[in-house]
Amino acid sequence: MTDSLFYNPFLRIKEDTLKKLMGTGKPYVVIQRFQWPGQPLQKTFLLSAYAEEHEARYHEQELRLNEGKAQNLLDLSHYQTVIKLLKTGSGIAMFFNGTIDARHEKRLQKAYVKSVSAYIHYIRMKKEDHFDVRIFVEYGRLKAEITSGEQSHTALFYDMIK
């Protein structure tokens, strides 16, 4: 949860989180911009962790220009750069990109049902029996796939709930 009134399924990163990631063999991270209701634009980031450098580099390649950057926490200068971002006075909020499990997916659906319904109406998707909404993370971007019968539409979850 964030300090705001908006439900956020991601955990806030602290220095001990970085140490735990390194201890579990995931020293390669990608830090990227993250938009979420109630969080300041340009000051909120999502950190994704990887065991292998090539995984982090692949993720980094999928990002838009200036959206984010890969860091190697085993490199002292990279580690110190990330720690500076986490300092309380930095004004930066950083969250950990964990897996969206069924519990968090249901909570997101419940918390934002009105916004998602309005988005479905906005895109004029036809209802064939019922709508299914699947929420997932892809390259550090929280997305939702809406399906109804043979129809399917995928978009950033933030665009549906803003």
In the block, tokens 């399917």 appear at: 152
Distances (CA, A) of 61 to 30, 67, 75, 79, 135: 10, 10, 20, 21, 23
d(CA 45, CA 12): 10
Q: Tell me the β-bridge partners of 134.
A: 145
pLDDT of residue 99: 65
Query: pLDDT by residue (tens digit) across 23-79?
Result: 999 999 999 999 988 888 899 999 999 999 999 999 999 999 999 999 999 999 999
Query: pLDDT by residue (tens digit) across 125-153?
Result: 988 888 999 888 899 999 999 999 999 99
d(CA 121, CA 129): 15
Neighbours of 74 (CB within 10 A): 11
Q: Is the pLDDT of residue 83 over 60?
A: yes
Strand order of the sheet with strand 11-12? 11-12, 93-96, 44-50, 28-33, 68-72
Q: pTM higher than 0.75 for the full model?
A: yes
- All residues at 6 or more sequence positions from 29 whose CB lies less than 8 Å from its CB, including other chains: 21, 47, 48, 49, 50, 56, 70, 71, 73, 82
When pLDDT is cut at 50, 70 and 90, the band that residue 8 belongs to is confident
If phi > 0 it is left, if psi is from -120 to 50 it is alpha, else beta; for residue 75 that is: beta
